[in-house]
Amino acid sequence: MNKKILNTLKEKLEKQKASIEGELGKFAKRDEKLKGDWDTKYPKSNGGAGSQVLEDAADDVEEYATLLSIEYNLELRLQDINLALEKINKGGYGKCEKCGKKILEERLKIHPEARMCTKCE
């Protein structure tokens, strides 16, 4: 692959990585022990009395579940991005993980974190 294109894709990946980490940072805490793992913070109720407390608690559970699924998706993307960056550094970037064929540049320009070619995915 052309070095110039590779550099452009690398920049793209790094930008995406920063923006995903920024998103995650809004509601999750990076797990220092497990590199690349994030934990969603449990939202804290802002107090209240009687049934309001229970209602708030229910809202929190719902909000927490939503955030967990967002976190999960962002984390998966982040993992793919990190993997792609690693491959760019160590070699093997742009190869389909399933069939071993080159992934089309046009595809990588749109999804630089792609791990498989269009046929295999």
Q: Is 114 in the site for Zn ion (CB under 5 A)?
A: no
Q: Of 8-16, 70-78, 84-92, 93-101, which segment contacts Zn ion by CB under 5 A?
A: 93-101
Q: By C-beta, is 17 or 95 nearer to Zn ion?
A: 95
Q: Is 120 in the site for Zn ion (CB under 5 A)?
A: yes
Q: Any residues with CB less than 8 A from the CB of 36 and at least 6 apart, and which? A: 75, 78, 79, 82
Q: By C-beta, is 30 or 98 nearer to Zn ion?
A: 98
Please say whether the beta carbons of 111 and 105 come within 8 A.
no
Q: Is 102 in the site for Zn ion (CB under 5 A)?
A: no
Q: In angstroms, what CA-CA distances link 31 with 34, 62, 72?
A: 5, 23, 14
Min CB(99)–Zn ion separation in Å: 3
Please say whether the beta carbons of 8 and 1 come within 8 A.
no
Q: Which of 59, 99, 102, 105 binds Zn ion (CB under 5 A)?
A: 99
Site residue total, Zn ion (CB under 5 A): 5
Please say whether the beta carbons of 78 and 24 come within 8 A.
yes
Which residues contribute to the site for Zn ion (CB under 5 A)?
96, 98-99, 117, 120
